[in-house]
Structure 1
Amino acid sequence: MTQKLLRVNELKQHFPIKGGMLGRTVNHVKAVDGVSFDIHEGETVSIVGESGCGKSTTGRAILRLDEPTSGEIEFQGQDLLSISKSDMRKMRKDLQIIFQDPYASINPRQTVRQILNEAMEIQNAVPKKDREKRIKELMDTVGLGPHQIDRYPHEFSGGQRQRIGIARALSVDPKLIVCDEAVSALDVSIQAQVINLLKKLQRELKLTYLFISHDLGVVRHISDRVIVMYLGRIVEIGDKKSVFDQSQHPYTKALLSAIPVPDPENKANRIILKGDVPSPIDPPEGCRFHTRCPFATDKCRTETPELRTTDYLKEGHMAACHYMEEIEQGKREPAYT
């Protein structure tokens, strides 16, 4: 069993809403509202969900790019929320991020050489005399040539710019990389190349990924475990095969039913959710999905379901759903499988 690298416990990220003449806090956007999970060395854990569910905010909060409201974040046993900003800056040598937009996330006025050298200089990751050699190695690692080192970002394609972003993350020898929608802005063929590159790097460099995406096809290809979020909370978590083949939460089933099937003869059974996602400013009481769930009962509207497993699920596969509990207890028949 691999060692636990990251532990997140009851993480909350509430953004204040200012109002009035004095700019007082009048409410909060509950972007992340009590999220808990672990990541072990060498695995890829993916977070999926609709836009606005809190998946990217979770990744940013773990790195303290946004200061969390409350909770616990432990990296290799170190409490990241108890250390100063200067100490956290040093910790980022081991905690890197690949952003969604491969152009906006790198400085357009710097050459590739300057971009990669800056990361190593800030973190003092590589001696100055060895940086030129390291830059060439990084370019080769991500599939770019040494003749491109002195080019500017606008001279590269979107896929190539994302490779530069990956090289920058690798330049300080991190242990955990947060991939925040790292391939969603790329063409499908380029997505496949970048995903295969990430998998190759993981094997060779023993990297650990927190992979954030809304593309379930990509998630199925790259993940070891999957976390499904809805309106700031985890509704289902488990290993990839268990979640995709034995999903329990109605929201997870609806997401999976939306995956395109590359067969015109096979008409997929789509589950169409009614209504819109409620506002994270004033989320519903009880189960946050009950306003769109076709199986919601009075209990769903008043009691918040806890993440739990059942006898017929694999260890570690849990869902937060009263409907699942009633099926297990024989009180209801599954409406769909």
Structure 2
Amino acid sequence: MEIAIDKKVLLQVEHLKQYFPVKTDSLFKPKAYVKAVDDVSFHLYEGETLSIVGESGCGKSTTGRAILRLDEPTDGKVYFDDQNILELNRNQMRKLRGDLQVIFQDPFASLNPRQTIKQILNEAMAIQQVVPKPKRMERMLELLGYVGLPSEALDRYPHEFSGGQRQRIGIARALAVNPKLIICDEAVSALDVSIQAQILNLLKKLQKQFQLTFLFISHDLSVVRHISDRVMVMYLGKVVEIAEKKDLFDSPMHPYTNALLSAIPVPNPEVKKERILLKGDVPSPIDPPSGCRFHTRCPFAAEKCKTEEPTLREIKKNHFVSCHFAGNLQN
């Protein structure tokens, strides 16, 4: 995949695979795997927001977890600041985690209910040793100010806050260690729509203020359209399309992307939008289809699609598609 030379690549993922064993034979050796992420490659520029979208089970969250090594990848390479983090030992990885942070989907489950907010923020700074102990209180008050919470919040517990406030605490904890990259794993999907907008605007503000880079994982294309610079579409563990946000939303080139975009609701009831309904169910990741994995549901599938797997290729500038007929289909 061609990379623009005028931008610094902060994260480079090459041929990432994440297989989970699900069946064993009589000798307790795996004989079947869930191919959750299967040969995924992409790059992320410093200071940008790349969103990963797709149906539930497509592998987008697993990709994020594999990058962070919350699950150890089966194969592939993950370069962060030109360093392959999959080669680091446990101590080296712990030091690097200050640069790599995550905001989880459920803001309540991701916070320790037995700790006050002060203890939660202090623990992050103590482990990474980013702030001297005498200055941590001052830093914690700064963090609360950044995310729009009062100073009294430090002495309260997570259950005393609303969902939106808890997510702000999660953001403050991520910021506490001065990260370069934050992976937002469905970070607003558990929130009300009005609160979603507040959190998204907060993330954009913080990104500009601290020169942050986001890998934003979501199934909500309306949210993705608001926050992204580029968008990557996944289907059944594979990347099917990557493009600049405007280009992807205005001119999708993969049939699956086109179907996803057709499902975005239109706020004007007088505007009629044709919905593309895909036939059949998503195949099992244990035994994915041969050739193009989307061919079992694709309205344009040909014999070639059943036997030959398409490669991710650049159809036009910075627009990559994994489809044999990309550019020749009418969207």
SS, match of residue 296 in structure 1? coil
Cα offset for 1:100? 0.3
1:49 maps to which residue?
A: 54
In structure 1, stretches of 5+ residues that fail to align are 328-333
Question: In the TM superposition, what whole-angstrom CA distance separates every residue of 1:261-308 from its partner, at most 9, and x where no partner exists?
Answer: 001111111000011100000000000000000110000000000111
Q: 1:18, CA displacement in angstroms? A: 3.8
What TM-score do the two structures reach when normalised by structure 2? 0.97
Pick which of 172-181 and 21-30 moved more.
21-30
CA deviation map 1:100-126 (0-9, x unaligned):
000001101100000000000111111
Secondary structure of 1:149's match? helix
1: CA distance, partners of 2:219 / 2:246: 17
State whether residues 46 and 212 of structure 1, in contact with CA within 8 Å, keep that contact through their aligned partners in structure 2.
yes
- Which is further off, 19-28 or 156-165? 19-28
- Matches of 1:127 and 1:169 in 2, distance apart? 17
Question: What is the SS of the residue equivalent to 2:318?
Answer: coil
Q: How do residues 226-305 of structure 1 correspond to structure 2 at under 5 angstroms?
A: 226-305=231-310
Question: Counterparts of 1:170 and 1:2 in 2: how far apart (Å)?
Answer: 24
Verify: 1:84 aligned to 2:89, yes or no: yes
CA distance in 2, matches of 1:206, 1:198: 11
Matched, 1:106 2:108: no
1:1-337 to 2 correspondence within 5 Å? 1-20=6-25, 22-310=27-315, 313=316, 315-324=317-326, 327=328, 334=329, 336-337=330-331
Classify the secondary structure of the residue corresponding to 1:110.
Answer: coil
Q: Which runs of 5+ in 2 are unaligned?
A: 1-5
| 8 Å Cα contact 1:6-1:74 kept in structure 2 | yes
Structure 2 Cα separation of the partners of residues 18 and 305 of structure 1: 29
Q: How much has 1:2 moved relative to structure 2?
A: 2.7
CA contact (8 A) 1:296 1:323 kept: no
C-alpha distance after superposition, 1:163-207 (max 9, x if no partner) = 000000000000000000000000000000000000000000000
In the other structure, the counterpart of 2:3 is none
Instruction: Give % identity.
Output: 67
The aligned amino acid for 1:200 is: K
Distance 2:251 2:197 in 1: 26
SS in 1 for 2:280: coil
Write the letter of the residue equivalent to 2:294: F
Given that residues 7 and 37 in structure 1 are in contact (C-alpha distance below 8 angstroms), is that contact kept between their aligned partners in structure 2? yes
Aligned amino acid, residue 222 of structure 1: I
Moved over 2 A (4+): 18-24
- Distance, in Å, in 1 between the alignment partners of 2:326 and 2:205 is 38
Matched to 2:260, the amino acid is L
SS of 1:252's equivalent in the other structure is helix
Q: How far does the alpha carbon of each residue in 1:197-250 deviate from its partner, in whole angstroms, 9 at most, with x for none?
A: 000000000000000000000100100000000000000001101111110000
> Does the CA-based 8 Å contact 1:12-1:71 persist in structure 2?
yes
Give the match for residue 331 of structure 1. none
Residue identity in the other structure for 1:111: T
User: Counterpart of 1:330?
Assistant: none
Name the aligned partner's letter for residue 179 of structure 2: P
Of stretches 295-304 and 12-21 in structure 1, the one that deviates more from structure 2 is 12-21
- Aligned-partner residue type, residue 110 of structure 1: Q
CA–CA distance in 2 between the matches of 1:23 and 1:114?
43
* Displacement of 1:22: 4.7
Supply the distance in 1 between the matched residues of 2:33 and 2:72 (Cα, whole angstroms): 15
Structure 1 counterpart of 2:312, one-letter code: L
Instruction: Determine the C-alpha separation between the residues in 2 that align with 1:293 and 1:24.
Output: 35
AA in 1 matched with 2:176: S
* Partner Cα distance (1:102, 1:286) in 2: 39
Deviation at 1:20?
A: 5.0
Cα distance between partner residues in 1 of 2:296 and 2:189? 29
RMSD: 1.0
Distance in 2 of aligned mates of 1:272 and 1:85: 46
CA distance in 1 between partners of 2:69 and 2:91 (Å): 12
